[in-house]
């Protein structure tokens, strides 16, 4: 019962946000949502299956650029297919999955850090293509993203739309679309993780040989999870393109991949909730620092010579990753869980408390 109340409150708050908050916060929130979709994908791969991928940014780029290419009308210098935009979005996600499938012979055979090293190839190769395949990607300057249009409803500032005296521009409209995409991705991933595939994935992560002995097709699973995770990356890329309204190649570099790894470590490895919390933390931190930089000691506005907010954010979250690994093995989600256990009044769902025997078996 109390669960329903909580979810209803969350839903009401979510719906109310575009009516009260300004564009800056909506955009930040939308970035966080798209990051959350991507982070769920990499958490399936890295957190749940133990396969390190440094190539997630590549699949985001693929999703974003494929959407633009499929949806845009061809011009004199830039190519495009001019497909209906929802179809373009779906095809972009499928294309990201297909690219993951092409890489999956490698992804299936390599494990852990070795896969991480091999996926570096995707990042550097991908960026090279983004910068040089100008008819498709627009080169260094990127290209404009055509707005999504579903059954005549356009996700753009025009035509004007006013709901309850609030003008609904592109961000307000996308807000609900982003929420739906995130909800769908989260539910699907939760289903995967809680079912038979999730158990198999966790067994592969914890002990590859044991998994094989128990009849889990290890190679096939690794390849399949890689494909699934790249499709999540593609969807995140499509959302990102819609929010940015412009795709630029510089953005999809190695640092973006590291951002995604940071998200799942800070949030909590191997779970949907952890990915969402981590994505919110990593996307909101730089924005908050930029916004309130004048109120913080040591942090100066950009260009004034002091510590810029972007630098402060990088230092803070580099430190946050190290601190989380050292002190919070379960990430922020683990912290929330243990807080909830200690304060019975806050407990939303009963958590299994370890019995004395299982507890003692963990002591080494």
Partner 1 sequence: MFFQQLVEGLGAGAGYAALALALVLTYRFTGIVNFAQGELAMLATYVAWQLVESGMPYWVALPVTVAVAFAAGVAVERTVIRRVETGAGELTLVVTTIGLYVLVNALAALVWTSALRAFPSPFPDAPAGLSALGAAGVAGLVLGAVALVVRHTGLGLVMRAVAADPRSARLAGVRVGRVLALGWGAAAAIGALSGVLLAPTLFLEPAMMTGVLVYSFAAATLGGFDSPLGAVAGGLLVGVAETLAGTYLGFVGADLKIAVPLALIVAVLLLRPRGLFGSAPVERA
Q: By CB under 8 A, name the binding residues for partner 1.
A: 46, 50, 52, 105-106, 109-110, 112-114, 116-118, 120-121, 124-125, 128, 132, 205, 207, 209-210, 213, 254, 258, 261-262, 265, 269, 307, 311, 314-315, 317-322, 325-326, 329, 364
Q: Which is nearer to partner 1, 162 or 209 (CB)?
A: 209
Q: Which is nearer to partner 1, 163 or 323 (CB)?
A: 323
Tell me the DSSP string of 165-204. TEE--HHHHHHHHHHHHHHHHHHHHHHHHHSHHHHHHHHH
Q: How far is the CB of 128 from partner 1 (least distance, A)?
A: 6
Q: Which is nearer to partner 1, 112 or 191 (CB)?
A: 112
Q: How far is the CB of 27 from partner 1 (least distance, A)?
A: 24
Q: How far is the CB of 348 from partner 1 (least distance, A)?
A: 28
Q: Which is nearer to partner 1, 122 or 235 (CB)?
A: 122
Q: How far is the CB of 60 from partner 1 (least distance, A)?
A: 18
Q: How far is the CB of 110 from partner 1 (least distance, A)?
A: 6
Query: What is the Cα–Cα distance from 145 to 248, expressed in whole angstroms?
Result: 11
Query: What is the Cα–Cα distance from 230 to 165, expressed in whole angstroms?
Result: 40
Q: How far is the CB of 250 from partner 1 (least distance, A)?
A: 13
Give the torsion through C-alpha atoms of 62, 103, 101, 240, to 10 deg.
-20
Q: Which is nearer to partner 1, 120 or 161 (CB)?
A: 120
Contact 278, 267 (CB under 8 A): yes
Residue appearing with tokens 């575009």: 18
Q: How far is the CB of 144 from partner 1 (least distance, A)?
A: 25
Q: Which is nearer to partner 1, 115 or 174 (CB)?
A: 115
Q: Which is nearer to partner 1, 74 or 302 (CB)?
A: 302
Q: How far is the CB of 167 from partner 1 (least distance, A)?
A: 39
Contact 39, 263 (CB under 8 A): yes
Tell me the DSSP string of 34-97. HHHHHHHHHIIIIIIT----S-HHHHHHHHHHHHHHHHSPP-SSS------HHHHHHHHHHHHH
Task: Please give the DSSP secondary-structure letter assigned to residue 293.
Answer: G
Q: Which is nearer to partner 1, 73 or 206 (CB)?
A: 206
Handedness of CA 189, 193, 197, 203 (dihedral sign): positive
Task: Please give the DSSP secondary-structure letter assigned to residue 133.
Answer: -
Handedness of CA 172, 283, 198, 100 (dihedral sign): positive
Query: What is the Cα–Cα distance from 255 to 231, expressed in whole angstroms?
Result: 20
Query: What is the Cα–Cα distance from 55 to 275, expressed in whole angstroms?
Result: 17
Q: How far is the CB of 285 from partner 1 (least distance, A)?
A: 12
Helices (H), 143-169: none
Q: Which is nearer to partner 1, 83 or 200 (CB)?
A: 200
């Amino acid at each position: 019962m109390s669960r329903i109340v909580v979810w209803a409150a969350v839903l009401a708050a979510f719906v109310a946000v575009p009516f009260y908050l300004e564009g800056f916060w909506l955009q930040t929130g939308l970035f966080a949502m798209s990051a959350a979709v991507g982070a769920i994908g990499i958490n399936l791969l890295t957190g749940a299956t133990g396969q390190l991928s440094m190539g997630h940014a590549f699949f985001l780029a693929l999703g974003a650029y494929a959407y633009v290419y499929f949806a845009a009308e061809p011009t004199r210098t830039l190519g495009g297919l001019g497909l209906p935009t929802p179809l373009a979005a779906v095809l972009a996600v499928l294309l990201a999955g297909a690219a993951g499938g092409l890489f999956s012979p490698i992804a299936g055979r390599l494990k852990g850090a070795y896969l991480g090293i091999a996926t570096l190839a995707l990042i550097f190769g991908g960026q090279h293509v983004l910068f040089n395949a100008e008819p498709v990607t627009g080169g260094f300057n990127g290209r404009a993203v055509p707005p999504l249009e579903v059954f005549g409803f356009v996700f753009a500032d025009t035509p004007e739309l006013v709901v309850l005296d609030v003008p609904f521009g592109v961000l307000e409209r996308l807000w609900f679309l982003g929420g739906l995409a995130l909800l769908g991705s989260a539910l699907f991933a939760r289903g995967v993780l809680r079912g038979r595939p999730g158990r198999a994935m966790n067994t592969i992560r914890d002990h590859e040989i044991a998994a094989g002995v128990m009849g889990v097709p290890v190679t096939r699973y690794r390849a399949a999870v890689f494909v699934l995770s790249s499709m999540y990356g593609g969807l995140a890329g499509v959302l990102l393109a819609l929010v940015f309204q412009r795709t630029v190649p510089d953005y999809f570099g190695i640092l973006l991949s590291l951002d995604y790894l940071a998200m799942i470590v800070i949030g909590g490895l191997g779970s949907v909730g952890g990915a969402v919390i981590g994505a919110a933390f990593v996307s909101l931190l730089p924005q908050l620092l930029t916004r309130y930089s004048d109120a913080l000691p040591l942090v100066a506005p950009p260009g004034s010579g002091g510590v810029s907010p972007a630098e402060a954010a990088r230092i803070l979250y580099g430190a946050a990753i190290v601190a989380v690994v050292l002190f919070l093995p379960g990430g922020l989600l683990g912290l929330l869980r243990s807080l909830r256990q200690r304060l019975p009044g806050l407990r939303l769902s009963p958590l299994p408390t370890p019995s004395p025997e299982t507890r003692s078996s963990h002591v080494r």
